[in-house]
Structure 1
Amino acid sequence: MRLTLTALLFLSVFTVHSQAVNAPLNRDYYHLLERLEVRSGKFSESFHASMRPFNRKEIAQFLDSLDTDNFNRRDKFNYNYLKNDSWEWADSANYKNRKGVLGHIYKTKPDFLNVHNEEFDLHINPVLALSLGQESISDNRLYTNTRGFEVRGLINKKLGFYTFVGENQLVLPHHVRNYINQFNAVPGEGFWKPYGDNNEGVDFFTARGYISFQATKSINLQFGHDRFFIGNGERSLILSDFATGYLFLKAETNIWKLNYTNLFGLQTADVVLRGNQLSGTQYQYPRKFMSLHHLSYNITDNINIGIFEAIMSGDSSVAQNPIDPVYFNPIIFYRALEQQDGSSGNALVGMDFRALFLKRFSLYGQLVLDEFLIDNLRQGGWWANKWAVQTGLKYFNAFEIPNLDLQGEYNVSRPFMYAHDSNFTNYANYKQPLAHPLGANFREMIATLRYQISPRIHFQAKAVMAEFGTDTTQNNHFGGNIFKQNNARYSHINPDTGSRWQFGHTIGQGESNTLRFIKMTLSVMPYHNLFLDVNYSIRNQQSEFENNTSENTFYGVDLRWNIPKRENLF
């Protein structure tokens, strides 16, 4: 309630301007935007690519700024597809259908129903995801049944709104079911119930939505329930969309060469079991509060650098109302506030960068520090020298082959990264990491190949190779499980004294695991945002003590309408 009142008070002090909502997070969709940006040779003047999702008006402005004379047939198709998707903001978009259905349905290519006039803009679309597949590790028939709708619009050119609602029943692959059994959470979702005769599936309701104001020409304010992504990689070590959505207030300032984002989020600290049942429909789960600043600066037309800081705060004594108003200060360093007022919150700081060159390449990376002391770094392996690093390279039109795009990415995270003193201060929401799906204590390489065979046919292959450490017993904490407390950490033996000490911690410690995951997908788009996917995956995990060893092959056919793919790539 306090966050709601604060948001309304914050929004009420501004004169509101014409406003758009965001294009929902979707890796394939945002890849097309990034491809056009890199091929143009310079950053978009409308948005900063590291802060996602993008505003639809900004997307349209970027598309309108492009010179399409040298586009091939596939790039022109992508350009028109993106333009039509935000047609209410784009110039000369070819969005109209010659004949609608019954005079009202599909008058425009992207919208099932729409109203567009001076006072009111409305877009309504159905959401559907149906899939059928099989895995080799069990007799379970993999299955997806998602039905819902998506609504976006604008009132009096001042108030933008968006909502997504979906009812879901899924039977997921073996490794996802293991995650659900371990943490009582479905990746990317909130409260759920068992589904099926043997409880092999999950049943859940998805709801996201927000309102949006353009407070000034340069400042956008949003308040609602959704998730975000910071970065340009397959993963984000700063803030990813792996976890479920959360109540948020976001202020984003785009001015000159700067993008400055303040994000305040009310998170779920823990998922509580009462007896053998999840208690979400009867009891309120404990809460915590996230405050995040991210500043992005385009040093040149093709070199960008960003810095960020985040605080996760809360404790059991204020579990239902954890918001500390001191963190609403939009421009001060949080660590200074903590030193002045005292706080047990978990602070993270870091930076990210991106560079475009030769109209073919995008080089990117991230560095995140949780706790760090140079003096202890020299001694090697101090448990609290917690950091994570990402570096990656994207190559567009690789080897002079049009529409062949390659990506290589490396991620590494020290033990105990993102963990803290309790679930109220670890970097997670609803028992799901806010950064990397593996948590911490890992090394990972990801390779991605994307090839647009024809305007409506895409092929994609992704390979994940990871080494990570897990706990040998329930009571041990080797640093990979970010939901375990710092004071439960394992202590190595000092080779000089024979006593326990705080050093000697290495990446991959504990039970050694290797992961090899390959996923291939062929997608056809017969109509705007209607996709037919055929996919095939091989996942092999080898464990040192065979506790987590598994080998699984799974495949399936998906029909998607106005909804992105579920990757489950971990």
Structure 2
Amino acid sequence: MRFILCMLALCLALAAKAQDVYVPYNPDIYHLIERYQIKYGNQVPQLQTAVRPYGRQEVAALAEVSAQHARSAVDQFNTRYLLNDNWNYTTQETNQSARPVLKRFYVNQSDLFHFENEDFSLRVNPVLDLEMGHDSETNGFRYVNTRGIQLEGTIDHKLGFYTFLGENQARFAGYVMDRIARDNVVPHEGWWKPFKEDGYDFFTARGYLNYALSKHVEIQLGHDRQVIGDGYRSLVYSDYAPPAFFLKLSTHVWRIHYMNLFQELTADYHRGDGDVLFPKKYMALHRLGIDVTDNFNLGLFEQIIFARGKGRFELQYLNPIIFYRSVEQAIGSEDNAMLGADFRWNIASRVQLYGQLMLDEFLLKEVKGGNGWWGNKQAGQLGAKYIDAFGLPNLDLQGEVNIIRPYTYQHISEFSNYQHYRQPLAHPMGANLYELIGIVRYQPLPRLSLTGKAIATRFGQDMVTATDTTNWGNNVLLSYLDRAQGYGNTIGQGIKTNQLHLDLTATFMLRHNLFIDLKQIIRRTDAAEDLLDKNTAYTSFALRWNIPQRLHEF
């Protein structure tokens, strides 16, 4: 890591170009961005929707184009929101507050406090998430109580910075507590401690520095999440696991976007007395995205998960362009290599087709043999988005199918499997599943958004007893060395389970980035073993300020 930091210092010394920061990842806001990318993205080709988060400068450019075409009151409101939220990268914002507080706060509509001159910009905002709910499977109210602060800005138009700090206490719904009991971690979070009766206390910290090395090359160093893919789920890298330390290089020239991502991950997490250094592992990932046409993007990616003892990084994986699998074979072939492809195709400015293919292991002979070899570890995704469906403005539909074979993402041990802090880096449910997702989003009024989600999953649970676990390929944390069988493996093997997760949410924006949510979740889980059957109804009300919804969709 000293080598990486030295290279970063050298790059910073040589750099000279204006720099922006990123739009904080929020699936609801990102849906708006992706909606307008489908409609007008061929006029803003630099926005790569398969690599998130997005730069504010690119989003502002897309919002400027969208504003020229917005006809309905809702689209005008949405584009104005995007322009105001990215005000320091556009001249088309209408962000001035009519009544600033004490002449210093909320001088503009989007920020509690802001300052900008030719050398320095700063945005400061509060973070608040107050959620109260009731779960049919537990006693007492469920709640989330998050308070924090968010800062971002630029220095000398060259260095961008971002920080998010949040203190949290929570009592989750019963199905979330079941996941915590299984893996000993709070979903999406790192270290935690008990809080009162069946509650959890945890601190969230994210941040980064980013710098433009040239007109086309950017470097970023920080502690945050990454998302790869255009789907609702990602089979490559999702936002489910906690933030992690990373170094990222992004190169965008002509129709080519190339990303190199190096990360330090936590291999395992043990709660206990006293201070303990958790074991580390590392990841190297790169993705090559090519705009084949203005509307069709093709991506190729590969990654390696590895460990080399206490704090040692494999320097050969720093090579930004080499085929990782060849390196992995040359040094002994003990690491976890994955590769695959993704695509996005916008059609007639109304429809988007997208998909991912991920290969964890691939032997053509075994695939053609059709004998269910355990090492046939692959995952596939195919989906579509339909904007202004059936001619109804601001009615957006999305459908998605995900298929993941047993033992995908598993490896020899926690030092090479595809997880961080005991949480999957890709699909939150692990593997050994079929999944069908349907999403309806409708915005009947500028400030009111209605969202309905149906997630139907057929998966095979591992058999767990008081003394042993039979590994049928669902839980990423288990070792494939302890697999139940070598051949005859099929998707859904183990304890066959059908699960339906329904989410109906009404969201009202009171003012810029201040939301009220009314949510109803209904879950039904039918398993081959009756003791694992569960039916849950969870109703909640939330007040959110500069923070996305906390979703538990597994």
**2:58 corresponds to 1:58:** yes
**How far apart are the structure 2 equivalents of 1:531 and 1:35?**
20
Alignment pair present for 1:266 and 2:259: no
Query: What does residue 211 of structure 1 align with?
Result: 209
Contact 2:36 2:62 in 1 (8 A): no
CA distance in 2, matches of 1:158, 1:108: 24
Verify: 1:333 aligned to 2:327, yes or no: no
Deviation at 1:4, TM superposition (A): 5.6
1:148-297 counterparts in 2 under 5 A?
Answer: 148-197=148-197, 200-274=198-272, 282-297=275-290
Residue identity opposite 1:511 in structure 2: I
Deviation at 1:283, TM superposition (A): 1.0
Deviations 1:96-138 (A, max 9, x none): 1133111110001111001110111000000000011101112
Question: Aligned pair 1:388/2:379, yes or no?
Answer: yes
DSSP-derived class of the 2:265 partner: strand
How far, CA to CA, are the matches of 2:510 and 2:430 in structure 1? 38
How many residues are matched?
A: 550
Q: Quick check: 2:352–2:386 contact (8 Å CA) kept in 1?
A: yes
Please say which of residues 332-341 and 6-15 is displaced more in the overlay. Answer: 6-15
1:6 Cα deviation after fit: 4.2
Aligned-pair CA distance for 1:157: 1.3
Instruction: Report what 1:38 is aligned to.
Output: 38
Give the TM-score taking structure 1 as reference length. 0.94
How far apart are 1:43 and its partner, in Å? 6.5
Match of 1:409 among 400, 411, 418: 400
Give the whole-Å Cα distance in 2 for the aligned partners of 1:114 and 1:323.
40
Report the more deviating stretch, 378-387 or 451-460. Answer: 378-387
Match of 2:454 among 458, 463, 470: 463
Q: Specify the alignment match of 1:139 in structure 2.
A: 139
Unaligned runs of 5+ in 1: 492-501
The TM-score normalised by the length of structure 2 is 0.97
Question: Counterpart in 1 of 2:478?
Answer: 484
Residues 6 and 351 from structure 1, CA distance in 2 versus in 1: closer, same or farther, beyond 3 angstroms? Answer: farther
SS for the counterpart of 1:384 is coil
Give the conservation status (yes or no) of the 8 Å contact 1:467–1:508.
yes
CA distance in 1 between counterparts of 2:43 and 2:551 reads 28
The CA distance in 2 between the partners of 1:79 and 1:408, in whole Å, is 25
* Structure 1 residue 423 displacement after superposition: 0.3
Letter in 1 for 2:23: A
Query: Deviation of residue 149 (structure 1)?
Result: 0.3
Counterpart among 531, 534, 542 of residue 515 in structure 2: 531
SS at match of 2:57: helix
Is the 8 Å Cα contact of residues 67 and 80 (structure 2) preserved in structure 1?
no
Partner residue of 1:358 out of 337, 345, 348? 348
What residue number does 1:546 align with?
530
Indicate conservation of the 8 Å contact 1:466/1:516, yes or no. Answer: yes
Question: How far is 1:9 from its partner?
Answer: 3.6
33 and 196 in structure 1: CA distance in 2 versus 1, 3 angstrom threshold: same
Closer/same/farther in 2, CA of residues 554 and 252 from structure 1, 3 Å limit: same
Contact 2:410 2:417 in 1 (8 A): yes
TM-aligned CA deviation for residue 141 of structure 1: 0.8
Do the aligned partners of 2:138 and 2:173 also contact (CA within 8 Å) in 1? no
SS at match of 1:296: strand
Please list every run of 5 or more consecutive structure 2 residues that lacks an aligned counterpart in the other structure: none
SS of residue in 2 equivalent to 1:8 = helix
Partner Cα distance (1:272, 1:460) in 2: 38
Is 1:567 aligned to residue 551 of structure 2? yes
- Of residues 310, 334, 342 in structure 1, which corresponds to 2:303? 310
Deviations 1:351-385 (A, max 9, x none): 00010112210100000000010111122201001
Offset of residue 70 of structure 1: 4.6
Q: CA deviation at 1:187?
A: 1.2
Question: Using the alignment, how far apart are the partners of 1:423 and 1:542 within structure 2?
Answer: 30
Q: Is the 8 A contact 2:40 2:65 kept in 1?
A: no
Residue 364 of structure 2 is matched in structure 1 by 374
Do the aligned partners of 1:144 and 1:168 also contact (CA within 8 Å) in 2? yes
Judge conservation of contact 2:45–2:294 (CA < 8 Å) in 1. Answer: no
Residue 451 in 1 paired to residue 442 in 2? Answer: yes
Q: Secondary structure at the match of 2:469?
A: coil
**Offset from partner CA, 1:179-200 (integer Å, 9 cap, x none):** 1111111111110111123xx1
Residue 10 of structure 1: CA displacement?
Answer: 5.2
RMSD between aligned residues: 1.4
Instruction: Indicate the SS of the match to 2:76.
Output: helix
SS state of the match for residue 393, structure 1? strand
**Identity across the alignment (%):** 41
Aligned-partner Cα distance in 2 for 1:184–1:422: 17
- TM-fit CA distance, 1:67: 5.7
Say which SS state the counterpart of residue 34 (structure 2) adopts.
helix
Cα deviation, residue 340, structure 1: 2.1
Mapped contact 2:399–2:437 kept (Cα < 8 A):
yes
* SS of equivalent residue, structure 1 residue 48: coil
Query: Residue type of the partner of 2:471?
Result: H
Taking the aligned partners of 1:293 and 1:41, their CA distance within structure 2 comes to 24
Q: Do the aligned partners of 1:16 and 1:215 also contact (CA within 8 Å) in 2?
A: yes
TM-superposed CA distance for 1:12, in Å, is 3.2
Instruction: Between 341-350 and 112-121, report the one with greater CA deviation.
Output: 341-350
Confirm or deny: 8 A CA contact 1:111 1:125 kept in the other structure. yes
